Amino acid sequence: MLQKKPNIAEYTTRPALVLDFCLIIDAAKQEAGAFDISVIEKVLVGLKQQNFLVGGVHNRPEVGRYEETEQRYIAEVQFTLNQFKKNPFDWVKACYFDEEVGQGPFGRRSFLRLPDYGLLTMVEAEAWGAGISVDWGESKVVGLCPRMEQLARNAKLSYEPAELFFAGS
């Protein structure tokens, strides 16, 4: 999703909002108790106007365990992003690894698996390649579960529960 810039003099610095993408999927599917997708869009568009990179992360071990195809997962992400009038996401990253499975290429420990911050390292490398230096000091993690709060602690980022983050909109 990020475009590569050829000249290092064109690099910019931007903070990132890291969202639990599971809550976005639930909103797109209009699951009971989910956030309203229009509220999410309003908040994210506002952050984009403040120069934030907006992205989603989540574990998706069902793909690594072959319980769900990667094509099915990609279709779900695309369906989710299509629910926005204008897609506010710069990136969505998922980890297929699940060390509890213990078999196959994804059945082992991975730094990509949340709450480790390997997915954020991937984002930073891709952003750098696109001419963006991520300002992690001004970045924030928003989520619903303890795993996202632990991600924020592990990466030394601020954390805000989604209930509070989207409440004022």
The angle at the Cα of 149, spanning 143 to 152, to the nearest 5 degrees, equals 105
Is residue 4 included in any domain, yes or no?
Answer: no
Model-level pTM? 0.91
Q: Is pLDDT at 167 greater than 90 in this prediction?
A: no
Average pLDDT over residues 46-70: 94
Q: How many CA atoms lie within 13 A of 52 on its CB side?
A: 22
- pLDDT number for residue 101: 76
d(CA 17, CA 27): 18
Residue 23 has pLDDT above 90, yes or no: yes
pLDDT digits (tens, 9 = 90+) for 68-115: 999 999 999 999 999 999 999 999 999 999 988 767 889 999 999 999
User: What CATH number does the domain containing 29 carry?
Assistant: 3.40.50.1000
Q: Tell me the pLDDT tens digit for each residue of 146-161.
A: 999 999 999 999 999 9
pLDDT at site 49: 97
How far is residue 18's CA from residue 52's CA, in Å, rounded to a whole number?
Answer: 10
Segments forming the whole domain that contains residue 29: 11-165
Residue that the structure tokens 């994210």 belong to: 44
Domain count across the chain: 1
Q: Is the pLDDT of residue 32 over 90?
A: no
pLDDT grade for 9, boundaries at 50, 70 and 90:
confident
88 within domain boundaries: yes
Assigned domain for 6 exists? no
